[in-house]
Every structure is written in C-alpha cells, then in structure tokens.
Amino acid sequence: MFISLFWKECRQIGKSIVYYAFLACLILFFMSQLGEENWNLAKPQQGQEEYGHTYSRDEQVIMNRTLQNLSLDYVQNRYTTYPLGFYKKVVLGEKKMVQMEKIMGELVGASKEELGDIISNYINEAEANQMEGVVVTPDVSPAQGLTYERFIELMGEIDDMLGGHSTYAPEVLKNGILVPQTYEGALEDYEAIVEKDRYTGAYARLFCDYMGLMLSILPMFLAVARTLKDKRSKASQVIYSKKASSACVILSRYLAALFMTMLPVIVMAAAVHIQCGAAAAGAGIAVDHLAFVKYVGGWLFPTVAFTLAAGFLISELTESVWAVLIQGIFWFFSVFQSFGGLNGNFGLKFIPRFNDFGNTELFFRQLPDLIANRIFYGVLTAVLVLLCIGVYTWKRKGGGIRRGKLRKSR
C-alpha cells in the first residue's frame, strides 16, 4: 500500500502548478548563479599581477591585521556588527570608550597619551593624503610580550562590549584573516583542489552553497500546497476513514515531496559534473566522480528534508498558510545570519555557507563542524516528521484547532 500511495503522491506533485513554479524558480536561480560559470581551472603562473586572496592562520598576521582594523574603528568610534545577519553600526558611549581605551592600551602597549599621539598622527597623515586617494592606517603593532591567547581573550571582551556578532569575535578570527595570496600559496591551493578535491569537490561545494539558499525555502510551498489540497477538496474525512495508517499516509506524502524536490537538484548537479569533467579532462586532471553525490547528499539533502518536514507539520497542524509566514521568517533570518560566515563558521546555522572556490584546507578543517550541523538537522527532521504523524493521527480522531485553541470534537 505504501508504494502505491508514494507513486500516487509523486504523480499528483508532478501535475501541480506549484511544482512547476518551484522548478522555474530553481532553474532560474541556478542559471543566474552558476549558468555562466567558467569551469576551467588554470594553474597559477609566476609573475601574475595578483593571485586572489586567502585566509592566513599565522598568529602574528592575525594580530597585526586585526589591530589595524580595530585601530581604525577606535579612532572613528564606529564599529560594525551583524546581529541576525543585519548590518548594525555601534557607537560606544563614554563608559565603554574608557573600557575600550584600556583594552587598546594593553593590545598595543601604549599609555593614554601615546594612544592620543597615534590618533593625531593618523588623522594628520590621512588628511595630507586625502587628495591623492592613498589609504592610510594607524601605526600600531601588538604590544611586546602580548601572547596570542591573551589577544584572543581581549578580542572576546571587545566582541561582548559591541553586543556580539562582530568581526572581532574569537570564532571568526580562529579561521584566519583575509590577506593577499602569494604565488606559492596559490600553487598550494591549486594542488589541493587537484589532489584533495579532485577538482569536482571544489565545484560541488560552490553548487551546494548557492542551491542551499533556495532549497531552504522553496520546498516548503510544496508541503503547504499538498496539505491544503485536502482541505480545499474536502477530502480529509474520506482519507481519514481509509485503512492506511497515519504513518503510511504522512510518510508517502513526505517522501514523495522529498523525491520530487531532489530530482531536479540531482539533474542540475549532474549537468555541472559533466561540465567539470569535460574541463578536467582537457587539463589532464582526474576527477572525483562521486563528489556531487557526497556533497548533495550530505549538504543539501538535510536542508530539503528539514524544510519539508517543518512545512508539513505546521500546515497540517494549522490547516492554513501559516507555514509560509513562519518558515519564511525563519529562512529570512537564516540567510542574513549566514552572511557573517560565508566561508564556514557552520555552528548550528540552518543554511551553511562556503562561498569560495578552493580554500580546500580551510573547508576540511571545518568539515567536522559541518557534519555535526547536518546530523543535528537530520535528527530534528525525524522529530518533526514523527510530530506530524502524531498530529495527523490526532486529527483522524477528531482533533483540530478551532478558534485558536486545540480541541477534540469526537
């Protein structure tokens, strides 16, 4: 019975206008973000004008660059944070300015008067070079004897003072700081893409990064449309009287929606893989033919599974479009929250981002965090599906929400 119900649900989804709208949005997004991607991988040549950027984990580099950025913010008393992903300008009051002055003094090994001199020299130099467009930074360096551990501790205090979610947060600094890439570094990154990623792994990450944005919201419309279809056609009572168990009905609907959602994703991933394979063959690079299978299955599948589970549960419980509003708000904040970590810092973010081609070593250092993230949402998905089955069983026994309250009429 389950198999017949499953294929019946697949056919119904395939005939749905909502499904065609879903496909149109997904394909348009794919073409706009990856449709014109250059799939060739060029080996860096010595003497190029630039080699892009990379994330340095050298403690001294992190300290120097961070202090330069911090000193600019300190001079202007204007700090940037991203609470819930939104840009926010923070201006410290008098009390916190005194606290920041004390921390800055320890970081650069300067007294209040010396800090004042640094600020004055910076302002004079900046004004003198304003017309020429020369970028000037304050002449600061870490205090002699300042350890990296103490530096990170002080950065944590600064982040707390700013309200959190700043670029000075220890969890942000631990992944390194963006610096210009060298030829040697670019060559190492190229070799990592060829040998460790086997070329296709790097593109599979980019594919998952972009597609995850849409797959964290679009499938929800399929779940809502399917649930409300019974209400519009007044078929609920007929379905409730069938011999099929609640688990059979819900799982057939859920798995059919999951299958129909992942089908176009797999086709698009295959298209990208074919283009990558052709480019790699021309460059004599051996590719990983299972890269897209691993990344799509481990990265995108949990996203789609959770989105559909939440959509089915909320719409089944409310029998309304509340799922669109609730999940839309959740998606909105998840997207903006992810802007603070486009190259990792996965944590428990619903939409993991790694918006960079390459940086292989940085990704693999954070891979355990991504695996834990995906397992968390996988477990949460199972809980939501079980709750949905419970709600459906309760409704078959006469339960429902009437006048904003949970009620049971029979």
Token pair listed for 36: 């014109």
pLDDT confidence of residue 404:
46
Residue type, 12: Q
Contacts of 160 by beta carbon, 8 Å cutoff, 6+ apart? none
pLDDT tens across 65-89, in order? 898 888 888 888 899 887 755 678 8
Query: How many residues belong to the chain?
Result: 410
Whether 278 has a pLDDT exceeding 50, the answer reads yes
Whether 164 contacts 83, CB under 8 Å:
yes
Closest CA to 70 of 111, 104, 121: 104
CB 181 within 8 A of CB 189: yes
Render pLDDT for 173-187 as a digit per residue (tens, 0 to 9).
Answer: 877 777 888 888 888
Confidence (pTM): 0.74
Q: Is 77 left (phi over 0), alpha (psi -120 to 50) or beta?
A: left
Bridge partner list, 57: none
For residues 312-319, give the mean pLDDT.
Answer: 87
Least confident of 45-59, 103-117, 129-143: 129-143
Q: Is the pLDDT of residue 202 over 90?
A: no
Looking up tokens 């600094």, which residue turns up?
A: 173
What is residue 124's predicted lDDT score, i.e. its pLDDT? 76
> CA of 236: how far to CAs of 232, 252, 386, 403, 410, in Å?
9, 16, 20, 19, 15
Q: Beta-carbon neighbour count of residue 42 at 10 Å?
A: 9
What's residue 264's pLDDT?
Answer: 96
What pLDDT is stored for residue 79 in this prediction? Answer: 92
Using one digit for the tens of pLDDT, what is the confidence trace for 344-389? 778 888 998 888 777 888 888 889 999 999 999 999 999 999 999 9
Q: Which residue has the tokens 């961070």?
A: 66
Q: Tell whether the model's pLDDT for residue 410 goes beyond 50.
A: no
The confidence score (pLDDT) of residue 113 equals: 78
Q: For position 148, what pLDDT does the model report?
A: 93
> pLDDT tens-digit profile of 144-167?
889 999 999 999 999 999 988 888
Six-digit token pair at 219?
Answer: 């499938």
Instruction: Please state the φ and ψ torsions of residue 17, each to the nearest 5 degrees.
Output: -65, -35
- Of 188-192, 241-245, 269-273, the least confident: 241-245
d(CA 364, CA 360): 6
Lowest mean pLDDT among 165-169, 316-320, 402-406: 402-406
pLDDT, greater one: 293 or 342: 293
Higher model confidence: residue 171 or residue 84?
171
Amino acid found at 199: Y
Report the C-alpha gap between 26 and 271 in whole angstroms.
Answer: 14
* For range 222-242, the mean pLDDT: 68
Report d(CA 283, CA 190) in Å as an integer.
Answer: 13
Q: Which of 113-117, 129-133, 184-188, 237-241 has the lowest mean pLDDT?
A: 237-241
Contact 208, 319 (CB under 8 A): no
Give dist(CA 162, CA 141) in Å, integer: 22
- Residue located via tokens 């709600």: 391
Q: Which residues of 251-273 are buried (b: 16+ CB within 10 A; e: fewer)?
A: bbbbbbbbebbbeebeebbeebb
Q: Where are the beta strands (DSSP E) in 245-306?
A: none
Q: Looking at residue 292, what is its pLDDT? A: 92
Helix (H) or strand (E) run with residue 55 in it: strand 53-56
Distance in angstroms (rounded) separating the CA atoms of residues 274 and 293: 13
Please state, in angstroms and as integers, the Cα–Cα distance from residue 232 to each residue in 70, 159, 227, 375, 376, following that order. Answer: 58, 52, 9, 36, 35
**Is 70 exceeded by the pLDDT of residue 402?**
no
Reading the block at residue 381, the tokens are 């998905």
pLDDT of residue 380: 96
Q: What is the pLDDT of residue 342?
A: 67
Residue range 289-311, pLDDT digits in tens: 899 999 999 999 999 999 999 99
Does the structure show a pLDDT above 90 at 257?
Answer: yes
Residue 239: pLDDT over 60: no
